[in-house]
Copies of this chain bind each other. A is one copy, B any other.
Amino acid sequence: MVVKKAGSVAASAVTMAGASLTDMQMLLGPADGCPNFAMRKFTVHAGGHTPHHQHDYEHEVLVLAGQGVAKGPHGEQALGAGDVVYVPANQMHQFQNTGDGDLEFICLVPAKVHQPVSCS
């Protein structure tokens, strides 16, 4: 069993093209031995956003704090603490901070997203 405080996990800026003012923490992932899915925490600072993109894996999101919108194929939906978002694979999406403080959410993905590419 691994127990840790989310605040103790190192944050790194998201440098993916299209991201702005966004940090990520790997709360539970390959380094913890998680075999099937990874729990990341994102902090989107005021004025920031994640990339507007799509990929071949899904997101399961829970908003912890702040105000924002989830932009999807049918427009934008307001987000606040306690809101849950499911983004299916291959669907365009973006998370934008529309408030004055940080927008904080966890976002889970299949483990393959964070595993090294094998060279067999």
Contact = CB atoms under 8 A, between A and B. Distances in A.
Interface of A: 1-7, 9, 27-28, 32-37, 39, 58, 60, 62, 64, 70, 72-74, 77, 79, 82-89, 91, 93, 106, 108, 110
Contacts of A106: 62
A93 to B, nearest CB: 6
B82 A1 contact: no
Given A37-B36, A70-B1, A108-B108, A28 B60 contact: yes
By secondary structure, the A interface counts as: strand
Given A2-B86, A3-B79, 6 more contacts: A1-B86, A6-B82, A9-B84, A28-B60, A28-B86, A36-B110
Total copies of this chain within the assembly: 2
Nearest to A86: B2
A22 to B, nearest CB: 19
A62 to B, nearest CB: 6
A102 to B, nearest CB: 14
Contacts of A84: 2-6, 9, 27-28, 39
